[in-house]
């Protein structure tokens, strides 16, 4: 029985160098494909369609800022609140993980390793456990930075949207410039959400590399259905673009 447990633990440790990079490679390949699709065929993705819809929204708001200014500020305020919640959650979780790793590292210098309550795959390797927690903390720090940048762009757009748009070389703010800033804020928010998604797969790595790899594959499948736009959504977009553009 003891020999069987030793063999099981050795196999679990040997799977980490193979399964973990493979799972991260699956996530990387999917997001590389998504980025190329957004750049080349934005109508196929929800992110691309939303960016085009925000362009028309900015144009409609800036056509009459005195009438639509309150609506624009309220909309951006809701986005700022959402980014603030995610940024606060990310930095709080990162701080808690840092404190936990610091406490457990200090404890292992004076106590024996079996006293730590890690899952079975991690009871014999504190260095690997530290890498896992550091990776999760790094994802939360990235999510925090992305959401802070998102708040920065949203706050800047709240001033720009209430100014008249430029008309054929006249005075005013360019609609393209405001749209670019608003889309940058939304893109940073999306990157922050992706960091949360990746942190979930890294959290499952604590319970074993196989579970982490399976979660990467399942997440890519779910994200594919969330990121790609249906034909009906593309048709609606084309209808509105034909009416307004």
pLDDT at 230 over 60: yes
Reported as a single tens digit per residue, the pLDDT across 149-194 is: 999 999 999 888 887 776 555 556 788 899 999 999 999 999 999 9
- Which is more confidently placed, 126 or 5? 126
Buried b (16+ CB within 10 A) or exposed e, 109-141: eeeeeeeeebeebbebbbeebeebbebbbbbbb
Q: What is the 3-state secondary structure (H, E, C) of 115-128?
A: HCCCCHHHCCCHHH
Reported as a single tens digit per residue, the pLDDT across 105-135 is: 666 555 444 444 444 444 446 788 888 999 9
State residue 8's pLDDT score. Answer: 55
CA distances from residue 71 to 18, 189, 229 in whole angstroms, order as listed: 52, 21, 27
- Which is more confidently placed, 63 or 114? 63
pLDDT at 102 over 60: yes
pTM, entire model: 0.81
CB 190 within 8 A of CB 5: no
**In this structure, what are the phi and psi dihedrals at residue 165, rounded to the nearest 5 degrees?**
-80, 150
Q: Residue 172: which region, alpha, beta or left (left: phi > 0; alpha: psi -120 to 50)?
A: left
Average pLDDT over residues 64-76: 86
pLDDT at 44 over 80: yes
State residue 12's pLDDT score. Answer: 47
Q: Which one, of 141, 46, 134, lies nearest residue 97 by Cα?
A: 134
Q: Rounded to an integer, what is the distance from CA 123 to the centroid of its chain? A: 31
State residue 140's pLDDT score. Answer: 96
CB 27 within 8 A of CB 201: yes
Q: Which one, of 188, 150, 161, lies nearest residue 55 by Cα?
A: 161
CB 188 within 8 A of CB 214: no
CB 177 within 8 A of CB 160: yes
């Amino acid at each position: 029985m003891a020999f069987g447990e030793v063999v099981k633990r050795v196999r679990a440790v040997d799977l980490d160098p193979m399964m973990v990079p493979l799972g991260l490679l699956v996530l990387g390949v999917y997001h590389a494909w998504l980025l190329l699709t957004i750049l080349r065929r934005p109508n196929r993705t929800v992110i691309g369609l939303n960016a085009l819809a925000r362009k028309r929204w900015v144009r409609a708001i800036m056509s009459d800022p005195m009438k639509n200014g309150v609506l624009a500020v309220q909309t951006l305020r809701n986005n700022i609140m959402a980014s603030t919640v995610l940024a606060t959650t990310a930095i709080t979780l990162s701080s808690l993980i840092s404190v936990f790793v610091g406490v457990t590292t200090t404890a292992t210098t004076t106590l024996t390793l079996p006293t730590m309550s890690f899952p079975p795959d991690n009871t014999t390797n504190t260095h690997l456990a530290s890498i896992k927690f550091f990776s999760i903390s790094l994802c939360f720090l990235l999510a925090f930075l992305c959401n802070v940048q998102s708040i920065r762009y949203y706050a800047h757009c709240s001033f720009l949207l209430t100014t008249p748009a430029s008309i054929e070389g006249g005075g005013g703010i360019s609609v393209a410039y405001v749209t670019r800033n608003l889309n940058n804020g939304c893109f940073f928010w999306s990157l922050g959400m992706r960091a949360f998604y990746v942190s979930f797969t890294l959290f499952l790595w604590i319970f074993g590399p196989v579970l982490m790899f399976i979660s990467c594959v399942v997440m890519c499948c779910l994200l594919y259905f969330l990121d790609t736009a249906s034909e009906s959504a593309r048709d609606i977009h084309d209808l509105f673009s034909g009416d307004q553009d």
